[in-house]
Amino acid sequence: MSRKISSAQMRAARALLRWTALDLATASKVGVATIRRAEVVDGEIPVTLANEAALRQALEAAGIVFVEDNGGGEGVRFRKPQRRARQKSIGRSK
């Protein structure tokens, strides 16, 4: 199971995406006041499990990956883009 999102991770994820609190609220269906309240505390965000799951899902759907503390500190980054498979041209003239 994933560790709960920290307020620093949530702020950093929004900054990477250049999202306002309203943008995140719209994407997650979590209230702006809840988001703002969660971002001012240190440590884990003080929200219900349902709201935390909605926030995580919205940010991950937008391309954010949450990095667990693995000795280098917790954080966020963009998901590595998927490479598109090269299509072979059929009947291509030379």
Q: What is the pLDDT of residues 24-49, one digit of tens each?
A: 999 999 999 999 999 999 999 999 99
Mean pLDDT score across all residues of the chain? 87
* CA gyration radius, the chain: 18
pLDDT band of residue 60 (cuts 50, 70, 90) is very high
Which range (3-7, 56-60, 83-87) has the least confidence? Answer: 83-87
Tell whether the model's pLDDT for residue 20 goes beyond 80: yes
Domain tally, the chain: 1
Amino acid at 91: G
Is 19 a member of any domain?
yes
Is 84 a member of any domain?
no
Is 88 a member of any domain?
no
Is 89 a member of any domain?
no
Spatial contact of 70 and 10, defined as CB atoms under 8 Å apart = no
Place of tokens 């995580």: 56
Amino acid at 66: F
pLDDT band of residue 1 (cuts 50, 70, 90) is low
Residue 5 gets which letter from DSSP? P
